[in-house]
Amino acid sequence: SRICVITLAEAHPLLQSGKTIKNINYQISANCSRLQNKVSGKSKRGAQFLTELAPLCRISSSDGEEYTIYSCIRGRLIEVNENILSNPALLQEKPSTEGYIAVVLPKFEESKSITQGLLTQKEYEEVLLKRRSSAS
């Protein structure tokens, strides 16, 4: 199944620094809220279409930092995780399960090229190692 679950990467600053998440906001602009996404039927009618650079939400931490989380993938927004609104700690405690941010369904013809462009866990860890060694 070609659904993509959007989560925070384990290297994201919110998961690294022991920060406390204060607020999660799916209101992207005055006219656009991801919470207004209403999907129906097999063809997912009514789903908001996202580009790779489409913001999904904004997360504020207790130290005043704000992070915009982007889709990073083209497709239809199937759902947003409203549970993290009332329990933001899920993002940090269970980032790859109950603390997911959204579910996106890429177009069928694009899904293969998307998955081919993904890094394996090993490749991702190598990128993080390079990033850490160049930062120090």
Q: pLDDT tens digits, residue range 61-117?
A: 988 899 999 998 899 999 999 999 999 999 988 988 899 999 999 887 777 777 777
- CATH of residue 114: 2.40.50.100
Q: For the chain, what is the domain count?
A: 1
End-to-end CA distance of the chain: 40
In the chain, the DSSP E strands lie at 4-6, 21-25, 27-29, 32-33, 49-50, 55-61, 66-70, 75-80, 102-105
> What does the pLDDT look like over 31-64, one tens digit per residue?
888 988 888 887 778 889 999 899 999 999 988 8
| Joined tokens for residue 74 | 């083209």
- Domain limits for position 113: 4-135
Task: Give CA–CA dist 21/114, Å, rounded.
Answer: 30
